[in-house]
């Protein structure tokens, strides 16, 4: 098995992958282990695991990533955030990852934890993901493949699109190997984003992040919090059926399949599904779009 995703990229023009998160309870964790087995039967190219705010679920993140590789023979990516960690702590986490055989990270700034929303980095902290990328390369060379987050509609703290693209280039210049984007529902945002990056000389893979729509009201709240635009088409489809869960799921699958096909036909180097720790509907969507 090739653990580093850059090795997979050499062999595959398009990859299909999932993201999940560490549950807060032991019951949820055990349930996730079962779901992981089902997800891996879909033969994803890799699976990423998110990181609790302020490192609250760091240990579970690494346990899950290690389980995916050792027990399910699937490459994993462990998220790593700067927030609330000193440089020495980050060094220790990376060494722990290396010991566990985890060769891929998604380097993120991260959001301050809910119990410390005003946290600010000091001299012993990293301020931005670009600083974390540089540190990983300086301390560990190419022991890790580094992925970073991209924002087709601009980061909420940097809505100026050209400047946001320049910030992404800094992460790549500091050692990042590939990009996974924030969710979006208008594919024009993705294609325009890739054009901006290519114009700056960024030739890394930019893998679109895909969130299947399963609940209209939850979608409204989530997109408001992360700054994702909801196109009028989505409102027109889902608002009239917001009380019909079965119909919403059916239309959500239909919408997502269409979105994914357009992305792949337009040259996207794969799809990264935000699975929300569930097998369905990503199983149905992947079956219908995988090339």
Output the CA–CA distances (angstroms, integers) from residue 27 to 24, 37, 72, 212, 222, in the order listed.
9, 16, 20, 25, 25
Q: What pLDDT shows up at residue 51?
A: 80
Output the CA–CA distances (angstroms, integers) from residue 276 to 86, 169, 213, 238, 248, in the order listed.
29, 29, 11, 20, 17
Q: What pLDDT shows up at residue 96?
A: 95
Residues 6 or more apart in contact with residue 246 via CB below 8 angstroms: none
Q: Do residues 202 and 173 touch, judged by C-beta distance below 8 A?
A: no
What structural domains does the chain harbor? 5-289 (3.20.20.220)
Digit-coded pLDDT (tens) for 9-35: 999 999 999 999 999 899 999 999 999
pLDDT along the chain (291 residues), means of 10: 86 97 92 96 97 63 95 96 89 95 94 68 85 96 97 88 97 98 98 98 98 96 91 97 97 98 98 97 97 67
pTM value is: 0.95
> Does 19 qualify as catalytic in the annotation?
yes
Q: What pLDDT shows up at residue 189?
A: 97
Q: What pLDDT shows up at residue 56?
A: 54
Q: Three-state DSSP class for 91? A: helix
Of 19, 89, 139, 160, the catalytic one is 19
Q: What pLDDT shows up at residue 55?
A: 47
């Amino acid at each position: 098995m090739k653990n580093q995703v850059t090795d997979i990229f050499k062999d595959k023009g398009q990859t299909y992958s999932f993201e999940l998160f560490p549950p807060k309870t032991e019951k949820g964790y055990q349930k996730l282990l079962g779901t992981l087995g089902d997800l891996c039967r879909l033969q994803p190219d890799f699976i990423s695991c998110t990181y609790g705010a302020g490192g609250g679920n760091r240990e579970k993140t690494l346990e899950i990533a290690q389980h995916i590789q050792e027990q399910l023979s699937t490459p994993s990516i462990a998220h790593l955030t700067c927030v609330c960690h000193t440089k020495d702590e980050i060094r220790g986490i990376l060494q722990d990852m290396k010991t566990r055989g985890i060769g891929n990270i998604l380097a993120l700034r991260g959001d301050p934890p809910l119990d410390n929303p005003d946290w600010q980095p000091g001299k012993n902290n990293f301020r931005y993901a670009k600083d974390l990328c540089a540190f990983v390369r300086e301390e560990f060379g190419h022991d890790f493949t580094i992925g970073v987050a991209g924002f087709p509609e601009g980061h909420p703290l940097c809505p100026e699109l050209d400047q946001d693209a320049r910030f992404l280039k800094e992460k790549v210049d500091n050692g990042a190997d590939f990009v996974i984007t924030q969710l979006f529902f208008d594919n024009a945002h993705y294609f325009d984003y890739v054009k901006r990056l290519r114009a700056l000389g960024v030739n890394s893979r930019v893998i679109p992040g895909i969130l299947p729509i399963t609940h209209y009201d939850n979608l409204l709240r989530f997109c408001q919090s992360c700054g994702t635009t909801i196109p009028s088409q989505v409102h027109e489809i889902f608002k009239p059926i917001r009380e019909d869960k079965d119909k919403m799921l059916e239309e959500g699958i239909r919408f997502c399949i269409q979105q994914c096909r357009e992305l792949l036909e337009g040259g996207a180097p794969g799809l990264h599904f935000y699975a929300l720790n569930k097998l369905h509907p990503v199983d149905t969507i992947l079956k219908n779009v995988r090339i």
